Amino acid sequence: MSKIQMKTPLVEIDGDEMTRVLWPIIKKKLIMPFVDLKTEYYDLGMKKRDETDDQITIDAANAIIKYGVGVKNATITPNEPRVKEYSLKKQWKSPNGTIRAILDGTVFRKPILVNNIKPSVSTWKKPIIVGRHAYGDIYKNAEIFAENGGKLEIRVTDKNGNVKSETIIDINETTIVQGVHNTISSIKSFARACFEYSLDQKVDCWFGTKDTISKTYDQTFKKTFEEIFETEYKEKFTAAGIEYFYTLIDDVVARIMKCDGGILWICKNYDGDVMSDMVASAFGSLAMMTSVLVSPKGYFEYEAAHGTVQKHYYKYLKGEKTSTNPVALIYAWTGALRKRGELDGIYELCSFADRLDKAVITVIESGVMTGDLAAICNPKAKQVVNSEDFIQAIATIL
Ligand code: NAP
Ligand code: MG
């Protein structure tokens, strides 16, 4: 059998710990026997980021802009203990944050469903996809702990020196204060990314904010979405037979618990951070969640939604075989290969990605799975395997 040829390289972004151990096994067993894999490799392992003063992360993001599609492994976001563990020069920023800021994206997270794992919410039959805005709000805030309180104000001084200010409150006791922002251009990109994704997946999309309380901030999200929908997407949605629905965030949450799924749930940054974990956990596991960053300029970065699975890595270092679930990593690869195939018109690459996805599902539905899934599946697992044996079982079916 001749291997499937690629035209353009994928930007391959490697990471840390247990997911770094699984990465080459997935490539070797599941992809390279079938695809003449072309990648441009960026090592975002902790050591390399430290050595290059994090320049490697910026280079990787720019490579995605150059080629269009990247696949990223999970990476450590260093905190104080990590600085000691890896003798780092400093607490480098989150690589995901850096890449998202450069690509100006929206993150879409979609659960992978199998018939032997039932969602905790009994009405959910189809995936609920969470579309999370990845810029601003509390993730780029300023905060003050004011011991004696005081006159709390927000103030904007524009480049001509004009000042706009508002008093929040004048208060005489210890107070906490937070200032957040977003930009209209980022909100517009967010809206377009969500509407494009809905059209691509042919699913309705729902958006909710707290616009009744937040009459400038959240209402601007609401109005910007409305405007872009009416002027750019309404006809396309009608033609595709799908809907855009806006309501208060409380109402969305209530409706989500009663719906049967098959929708894109558009969330502001913090809502998406929290709600995507709730949705992932209710559908089974973070390791059964795909994640893609879509930029308004048409760049795509595929990744797993989970981290580097640190606890498993320490067991691995002691020589133990771990039952770490590689499904989200495999789907990151198939997502990237399929998109590359679409962009370059390589039908075989798209269909290979579909078959690999299907092989993964077939193995799990046959009762062979990693420990995390065995704990929640019904009927009971026939065989609980380590990561390598699980990947081998997929390779055999493939
Ligand atoms: P984690 O890697 O998501 O793992 C947390 C726990 O979830 C694991 O201990 C494991 O539970 C379970 N789990 C997650 N993925 C699994 C998988 N594929 N198979 C089986 N079980 C899985 O989070 P963490 O260990 O708290 O964080 C480790 C590092 O990851 C941190 O340094 C953090 O900065 C980084 N991180 C990176 C990303 C990213 O790059 N996208 C995202 C989040 C976190 P059990 O131990 O009970 O088996
Ligand atoms: Mg979160």
> pLDDT digits over 184-241, tens only?
999 999 999 999 899 989 999 999 999 999 999 999 999 999 999 999 999 999 999 9
DSSP 6: -
Nearest ligand to the CA atom of 17: 1
Percent of the chain past pLDDT 90, that is, above it, reads 91
Closest CA to 295 of 128, 67, 120: 67
Q: What pLDDT is stored for residue 218 in this prediction? A: 98
Nearest atom in ligand 1 to the alpha carbon of residue 287 is 18
Find out whether 60 and 99 touch, Cβ atoms under 8 Å.
yes
**Confidence class for position 170, pLDDT limits 50, 70, 90:** very high
Q: Report yes or no on whether pTM surpasses 0.95.
A: no
Residues with CB under 5 A from ligand 2 (ion): 273, 277
**Confidence class for position 298, pLDDT limits 50, 70, 90:** confident
What's the CA-to-centroid distance between 95 and ligand 2, angstroms?
15
Nearest atom in ligand 1 to the alpha carbon of residue 303 is 41
What's the CA-to-centroid distance between 185 and ligand 2, angstroms?
24
Q: What pLDDT is stored for residue 97 in this prediction? A: 85
User: Going by DSSP bridges, is the β-strand pair 368-369/383-384 parallel, antiparallel, or unpaired?
Assistant: parallel
CB of 116 within 6 A of ligand 1: the answer is no
* Alpha-carbon gap, residue 384 to 375, rounded angstroms: 10
What's the CA-to-centroid distance between 310 and ligand 1, angstroms?
6
Lowest mean pLDDT, pick from 67-76, 148-157, 277-286, 389-398:
277-286
Q: What pLDDT is stored for residue 334 in this prediction? A: 98
Per-residue pLDDT tens for 341-355? Answer: 999 999 999 999 999
Q: What pLDDT is stored for residue 236 in this prediction? A: 97
Domains and CATH numbers, the chain: 1-106+287-398 (3.40.718.10), 118-132+193-283 (no CATH)
Q: DSSP per residue over 41-91, as a string?
A: EEE--HHHHHHTTTHHHHHHHHHHHHHSEEEE-------HHHHHHTT-SS-
Give the residue carrying structure tokens 């749930």: 265
Mean pLDDT, range 353-362, rounded to an integer: 98
Nearest atom in ligand 1 to the alpha carbon of residue 304 is 41
Residue 101 has pLDDT above 90, yes or no: no
Residue 285 has pLDDT above 90, yes or no: no
